[in-house]
Amino acid sequence: MNLAGPPKLRIENVALRFASRTGAPVTALENISLDVADKEFSVIVGPSGCGKTSLLRLVAGLIEPTEGTITLDSRRISGPGKDRGMVFQSYTLFPWLTVQHNVEFGLRIAGVSAALRRETAQRFIAQVGLNGFERLYPKQLSGGMMQRVALARALANDPAVLLMDEPFGALDSQTRSLMQELLLDIWQASHKTVLFITHDIDESILLGDRVYVMTARPGRIKEMVEITLPRPRTVEMLTTDAFMAIKRRIMHSIHQEAMRSLAIEAPST
């Protein structure tokens, strides 16, 4: 990747603290720094409760960091914006809009003409393989289809960075594999800058150029693993030796971490 010049997205010394119900300060994230290069696919993998979703919401501008700064194209992030499109783990399609109008939503509020909106939406609906489903409402779609529409809706806005918060987490494993392949295809064609969050190690290796391993309580980045597997990638790679070697390394790292947090939780005897 292009290492010269400033990174696309830069997270610098970010901490997130809030007061718990008892008033005691809770540190959700501590000393997080990472750079995402232009056209790079970065994945953050970590156990539940490590604050990875909070980190993504900070980048989206939905919450503010207690310390540190986040910059996109050298401009400081101070709130949500359409330059950072997001796909959520929960189903977030607008139930009152058809597939077509869901995908058009961002363009519509940006004041794009009806003709251009329709054409753009058509292109992304086709890209996620949902031709012929334009007029259906979300409740008529399966979970996998809803996430495809959510992806098309985010992409139709042409964001500078695509943020994905465990988008396939609620899907069954077969559908998840299909969605991973779809995302790989789309990324291979568009080379969007992506920041992707998951607890699934296979998923992180299969998709990412870089995988950041996060630790819990407080959330910190423990390690960055460069994924050197060749592209384009397919799910068949999941069983190769190279894949396994990376997986062992990440599993070991996460396992150490899980043991450490278990030790913290266990009553001291």
For the bound state, the minimum distance from the C-beta of residue 264 to another protein, rounded and expressed in Å, comes to 30
For the bound state, the minimum distance from the C-beta of residue 112 to another protein, rounded and expressed in Å, comes to 11
Amino acid at 109: I
What is the rounded CA–CA span in Å between residue 214 and residue 159?
25
3-class secondary-structure state, position 35: strand
Nearer to another protein, 85 or 211 (CB): 85
Nearer to another protein, 72 or 227 (CB): 72
For the bound state, the minimum distance from the C-beta of residue 63 to another protein, rounded and expressed in Å, comes to 10
Nearer to another protein, 136 or 237 (CB): 136
For the bound state, the minimum distance from the C-beta of residue 39 to another protein, rounded and expressed in Å, comes to 20
Nearer to another protein, 104 or 257 (CB): 104
For the bound state, the minimum distance from the C-beta of residue 105 to another protein, rounded and expressed in Å, comes to 6
Q: What is the DSSP letter of 268?
A: P
**Nearest in space to 61 (alpha carbons), one of 71, 52, 51:** 71
What is the rounded CA–CA span in Å between residue 49 and residue 219?
8
Give me the residues that bind another protein (CB under 8 A), please: 57, 60-62, 79-82, 84-86, 88, 90, 92, 94-97, 105-106, 109-110, 137-139, 150, 153-154, 157, 163
Structure tokens at 215: 């630790």
Contact of 198 with 41, CB cutoff 8 Å = no
Nearer to another protein, 157 or 180 (CB): 157
What is the rounded CA–CA span in Å between residue 189 and residue 211?
21
- Residue in this structure with the two tokens 């259906």, named with its chain if needed: 136
Nearer to another protein, 88 or 168 (CB): 88
Handedness of CA 37, 38, 41, 45 (dihedral sign): positive
For the bound state, the minimum distance from the C-beta of residue 71 to another protein, rounded and expressed in Å, comes to 17
What is the rounded CA–CA span in Å between residue 128 and residue 22?
46
